Structure 1
Amino acid sequence: MAETKRIMISLPNSLLEEVDDIVSMESKNRSEFIREAMKLYLRERKKIQIKEKMKNGYREMSQINLYLAEMGLEEDYNELISYENRLIGREEL
């Protein structure tokens, strides 16, 4: 394992009792439990950050896609008008 540092933390008694119950059931010690809990927290935090970045990316892309769709719709409309004008023998404006 990498170099370790000893830290001191303060916990409410009720939380420490819950931790101790889990530690005894899983045959671990408090340090192992705290390490695993911290790793889990950091992993979940990263997942949340990635999800937020993805949401922002999808929002940005939705604006781009809307713009492109509207451009395409306008182009299709102009082609339809041009086609109809040719059908009835009108000159394009």
Structure 2
Amino acid sequence: MPRPKDDFEELYPCDFYTPEELLDEELLYTVYEIARLLQGLEADAEIDEGVEDILLDWAIPWIMRNAEELVIAEPPSDDEPGYYGLKSESTEE
């Protein structure tokens, strides 16, 4: 149910990192690691599964929105996620 803005003590700008600000050009990340980074956590931070599910709600649209600036690599096995990274001159060829 929608709530009035006055119900909240403080409102914040809805700013997200750009891929260049968030990701290291030499590394590839899973969606789970990107989700942590978007929240200012370390990529390998231990978090509860419920929290991870919420963070994925932010990460998946971020990946889709920035798809033109990203590359994807196949997962090492069928039970692992794919990996995403920054597009660079070497990856565009």
Length-normalised TM-score, structure 1: 0.22
* Structure (1/2) with the larger helix percentage: 1
Greater relative contact order (CA < 8 Å, ≥ 6 in sequence)? 2
* Structure (1/2) with the larger strand percentage: 2
Length-normalised TM-score, structure 2: 0.22
Greater C-alpha Rg: 1
